[in-house]
Structure 1
Amino acid sequence: MIGILVKNELRKLLRRSKTWIIFGLFIAALLLIGVGDYFSGKSMEKYNSPEFKIENINNEVEYIEKDYLSSSKDLQNKDPEKYEQMTNRVNDLKNEKTSLENAIKDPSKSKDLWKVQLDGQIKDIENQLKDDTMPERYKGQMKTQLTQLNYLKDNNIKPINEWELNSYNYLKSVMQILGVFLLGIGIALFMSDIVSGECTPATLKFLLIQPISRGKVILSKFIAVCITSVTMILSTEILGFIIIGLFKGFGNSNYPMTIGTKFQYDLSKIEDGIHPLIEIANSTTMISLSQFTLRSFLLQALYIIACCSFVFMVSSLVKSSMTSMAIATSVLIACNIFNTAFAFFRKISFLLFTSFGTPSDLLTGQIAIFYNKPFITLGFGIIVMLCWIVGCYLIAHFIFKKKDILI
């Protein structure tokens, strides 16, 4: 019986013009994000061109030679290790500059230019790690980055810049922008009347006079909206992923991504009245970009269901579809704005499902930095969203079974 009810609800949802209007707006949002990424990438190409990098290298070499090596005798006698580091840094920069100049003169050499730049990044981090003046507890993040860069070098994988437009970067950008603001609002507009809009019409009367319990009616509606929302959103994102990949490239699916980084409080330091977080050494693991993307999809699907649960609960509490829409959208907008703008709100907002709309932050562990709470991990975020899903549905289920419905 549940299967038949869900099928009927799906038909009703797909026949609504509102469903396809929201779906069209969602597609338009993805197109705008793609256009924005395209022009942003074009702008960043300029700042990552060989000519611009040569200018930066010249500035850094001039700074080092003027501020450190100009008084080489004093520095060499007082701090020979520092002197050696600065000298090596200048030599590395000059070598990189030579490679860039050769690439400009002979474009065929630019094919492997990334290898030279990668070596430069590795040497730079290695030099920083040798700096004894830097406390060991602050080197965790640099060691993680060094491990990733060495993996790229050993496996001959070209680094992917975040500003490059390819299918994986596009998908990451889409999930970040939608999760922060648009996804919850779109779901609220789409399904705010799923229960409240049928409190008086004949459709609900027809259902309730059948030998079907109210519990099955409300469950079928919930399943239907979750299936519709998850399917429409993820399928459109996958389609965008394929289209961008066909025109701009898919990227390397085996590219290493770091996940699961854990943090702890730095008890030796206080910033703005609190202890900041530092990365725990060797707490990070690496997976392929394809695995990272698959997990991002699963987390986004869970977030979508959590949004559906909340809006579903609001829709069951009131009889006016306009009122339920206003309440749901206002709450979701307020939560996102307050979470970004007010530090005091973040003291409790980590308990709200709206805080976990960006899968990449949850997977990498960087969300702990934003809230300055080391216990906010991937597992914590999943538990919070599951609790909201179950809690909101149970409230909606109880209210729907108990309240009077005018038919």
Structure 2
Amino acid sequence: MSSLTNLIKNENMKIYRRPRTWLMIGFLLLTVALLSGLMNWEAHKNANPDWQQSLTQDNSRMQQELQSNQELNDNQKTRMTEQIKLNEYYLEQGVNPHELSLWDYVNNASNLIILVTILTVIIAADMIAAEFTWGTIKLLLVGPASRTKIMVSKYIATMGFALFLLLLCLGSSFAAGGILEGFDGMNQPLLSVSETGIVQQSPMILEILEKYGFSIISLIMYVTMAFMISSAFRSSSMAIAFSLLFMLVGNTVTMLLSSYSWVKYLLFANIDLTQYLEGASPLRPEMTLSFSIITLVIYYLAFQFIAWLLFTKRDVAA
């Protein structure tokens, strides 16, 4: 175990001693700052002092539509009824739903997890292929550690970097929201309407953690796929290019093929588990959360086995 720990430390040094890594970190922080600044500017620009009147008009419009529009389906009727209940609650409590709190910044920053994924994929795709590009793989293999331990240490270091970027995104957006809107908004609850039509409160942090938690699944899958691709190439640039290509094009191709029932077995059809959150719908109507989880586990194990097979059996004499 001590040798594995030393290997992980060694891989971490390779990651964090490179200027490229700190450029990535700086770019992520800059993106969070710009996004937060734009949100604050847009909110103050479009601030409506007559928000009570606006909510009242919205409720009147939705009530009229519920009564007159026969083309609304059950989901649309439910959403509109719930929104009316929420608007009534806002009016009774004197709460402006359009005012930003720090949680709005954290929630909006969850969209940047795709950027965290791209940055980590670049690192993952480079972890093994770069050793062959630089010719340093022989120095690793002459040591006492087995190829399996070397591969595991690289994977753990890569996932550690992914976790670091994810926490950095979460923490920096929280700080930006607190600075711009005040930290008193930490106690702001998440409002929802129960099946009985009662407005209920729940901790906002649970909603944020749920969204980030589902996003972590896609992050793990993309990074593991990139790690597998890295083990198949001797050129780090080729490994990075193919990893980003599969990641960026895969979802688009899957959407184009969504009319075919067999598309549900593809990785990219299941990788976004937020499609099972309330208010969303899966790519295919027959897909379920348990089906996607099982599919992802199969792909994950396949990626790990292929990466291990390619790395442990590869000839490094050349």
Q: TM-score range by the shorter chain?
A: 0.7 to 0.9
Q: CA deviation at 1:308?
A: 1.1
Q: CA deviation at 1:309?
A: 0.6
Q: CA deviation at 1:195?
A: 0.5
Choose the corresponding residue for 2:257, options 301, 320, 344.
Answer: 344
Choose the corresponding residue for 1:172, options 102, 107, 124.
Answer: 107
Q: For the Cα contact (< 8 Å) 1:195–1:315, is it kept in 2?
A: yes
What is the CA deviation profile of residues 222-251 of structure 1, one whole-angstrom value per residue up to 9, with x for unaligned ones? Answer: 111001112123223312212221222354
Q: CA deviation at 1:40?
A: 2.7
Match of 1:78 in 2: none
Equivalent residue runs for 1:118-197 within 5 Å: 118=55, 121-122=58-59, 125-131=62-68, 133=70, 137=74, 138-149=76-87, 156=93, 158-161=95-98, 164-179=99-114, 182-197=115-130
Three-state SS of the structure 2 residue aligned to 1:193 is helix
1:236 equivalenced with 2:169 (yes/no): yes
- Whole-angstrom distance in 1 between the partners of 2:196 and 2:225: 38
1:28 equivalenced with 2:22 (yes/no): no
Equivalent residue pairs, number: 309
Match of 2:249 in 1: 334
What is the CA deviation profile of residues 75-105 of structure 1, one whole-angstrom value per residue up to 9, with x for unaligned ones? Answer: xxxxxxxxxxxxxxxxxxxxxxxxxxxxxxx
1:366 equivalenced with 2:280 (yes/no): yes
Three-state SS of the structure 2 residue aligned to 1:255 is strand
Larger radius of gyration: 1
Q: Please, what is the CA RMSD of the aligned residues?
A: 3.6
Change (3 A) 1:377 1:239: farther
- Whole-angstrom distance in 2 between the partners of 1:136 and 1:385: 33
What is the CA deviation profile of residues 293-345 of structure 1, one whole-angstrom value per residue up to 9, with x for unaligned ones? Answer: 12222222222222211111111111100110111112222234446xx6435
Match of 1:294 in 2: 209
* Structure 1 residue runs of 4 or more that deviate by more than 6 Å after TM superposition: none
1:254 equivalenced with 2:189 (yes/no): yes
Match of 1:266 in 2: none
Match of 1:318 in 2: 233
What is the CA deviation profile of residues 185-208 of structure 1, one whole-angstrom value per residue up to 9, with x for unaligned ones? Answer: 322323321000112656432332
Match of 2:317 in 1: 406
Change (3 A) 1:258 1:397: farther
1:208 equivalenced with 2:141 (yes/no): yes
Equivalent residue runs for 1:257-276 within 5 Å: 257=192
Change (3 A) 1:129 1:365: closer
TM-score normalised by structure 2 residue count: 0.79
Q: What letter matches 2:125 in structure 1?
A: S
Q: For the Cα contact (< 8 Å) 1:196–1:321, is it kept in 2?
A: yes
Q: Gapped runs of 5+ residues in structure 2?
A: none
- Whole-angstrom distance in 2 between the partners of 1:305 and 1:258: 33
Three-state SS of the structure 2 residue aligned to 1:212 is coil
- Whole-angstrom distance in 2 between the partners of 1:358 and 1:16: 33
Q: CA deviation at 1:16?
A: 1.8
Q: What letter matches 1:291 in structure 2?
A: L
Match of 1:39 in 2: 41
- Whole-angstrom distance in 1 between the partners of 2:25 and 2:150: 25
Q: What letter matches 2:311 in structure 1?
A: F
Change (3 A) 1:142 1:23: same
Change (3 A) 1:136 1:37: closer
Q: For the Cα contact (< 8 Å) 2:113–2:166, is it kept in 1?
A: no
Q: For the Cα contact (< 8 Å) 2:120–2:223, is it kept in 1?
A: yes
